[in-house]
Chain A
């Protein structure tokens, strides 16, 4: 059984979801790549931000 850490799971999830979003939401390869990268950064960035918020709330 594969048991990734929470962060690894988020990175894998973000990678695959961003790939599909990039390809399906934009028309040219350059725009697809940029939008995919944007989605990936938002996934990871929001995860880190919300993790800190929850950490501070829990203290």
Chain B
């Protein structure tokens, strides 16, 4: 009797060797880097382009980079911003982003930056799933 094989399961022992969280961490720090490490150049480039463009558009709209956590909404915003990895820290070091949101476009920009971070986390988790063989 033939046994059913799970295409998504790790097919080789080598797939579990090494530090399996490397694509996850690299993907979080640098958008698309997790996929680049796994040789998924096209996917990585598209993910990097999407996240970096969204982050840059947010900054160009003078969106706010959350710097502290005074209330629950600020904590959530900060968590989203941190998803951008090094982009967030570079933005903070260079003093980018508005201190206060005064016009509607700045509010759009703030949301663009937060969502770019969240999308980057999704992309990093996808890289981790590729690494562990959960996804092909």
Residues of A at the B interface (CB closer than 8 Å) are 1-4, 6, 9, 12-13, 15-17, 19-21, 23-24, 27
Contacts and interface: CB of A to CB of B under 8 A. Distances in A.
A3 B50 contact: no
A16 B54 contact: yes
A21 B105 CA distance: 25
Contacts of A17: 50, 115, 119
Secondary structure at the B interface, as helix, strand, loop or mixed, is helix
Contact of A4 (B61, B111, B119): B61
Interface of B: 43, 46-47, 49-51, 53-54, 57, 60-62, 104-105, 108, 111-112, 115-116, 119, 122-123, 125-126, 135-136
Contacts of A20: 47, 50-51, 119, 122-123
Nearest to A3: B105
A1 B62 contact: yes
Secondary structure at the A interface, as helix, strand, loop or mixed, is helix
11 contacts: A2-B60, A2-B61, A6-B104, A9-B108, A12-B112, A13-B111, A13-B112, A20-B119, A20-B123, A21-B122, A24-B125
Contacts of A24: 47, 122-123, 125-126
Contact of A27 (B46, B112, B136): B136
Contacts of A23: 43, 46-47, 123, 126
- Counting from the closest, the 7 A-B pairs by CB-CB distance are A24-B126, A2-B60, A16-B50, A20-B119, A19-B50, A16-B54, A3-B105
